[in-house]
Amino acid sequence: MKKSVEPSLAIQKKIRQILTGSLSNLKEMFIRKIKLQFKTLKKAFYELDRHRTGHITFDKFYVIINDWGFEAKESNIRALFNWLDYDKDQKISFLDLRNSIGLEILPQETFFFRQDTKLGKRVSCIYEDCWENNSYNQTS
């Protein structure tokens, strides 16, 4: 008795479609996968950067998208790659990922990154005469 593989593949495709969303928009599917699977954007980047080079090239990205089970044309994957490549250097770095989808996916992660804000005034001395002339700040 031979079992038909066709119905099994069709069922798997329907299950994948339910889990990842509609197959119409690769960008939405990618964002949803990142949101649901990873707690931080850094962990998502480490998953994408499997060789630990600090960046992801298109060839590596293409393999990852296919490994994740997304069925898409190469042109759609290229469009997603170009959208994620924020500085347009043909590599996706962590900063590219953060700038392109970071705030959309995990807005709370901005607290962990250095912000370009001025610090409040610091009080370096609690005594009144700290700034008086002493042996360290006398001019000769």
74-104 residue pLDDT tens = 999 999 999 999 999 999 999 998 888 887 7
Domain boundaries, the chain: 24-108
Structure-block tokens of residue 56: 């992801």
Whether the pLDDT of residue 107 is over 90: the answer is no
How many angstroms from the chain centroid is the CA of residue 45?
A: 5
How many angstroms from the chain centroid is the CA of residue 127?
A: 48
Q: What is the pLDDT of residue 59?
A: 94
**Contact present, 26 and 78 (Cβ < 8 Å):** no
2-44 residue pLDDT tens = 555 555 666 766 665 655 554 458 888 888 888 888 888 888 8
Distances (CA, A) of 94 to 9, 35, 57, 119, 122: 35, 16, 12, 26, 33
Between 69 and 117, where is the model more confident?
69
Across 5-14, 37-46, 50-59, 104-113, the highest mean pLDDT is recorded for 50-59
CATH superfamily of 24-108: EF-hand (1.10.238.10)
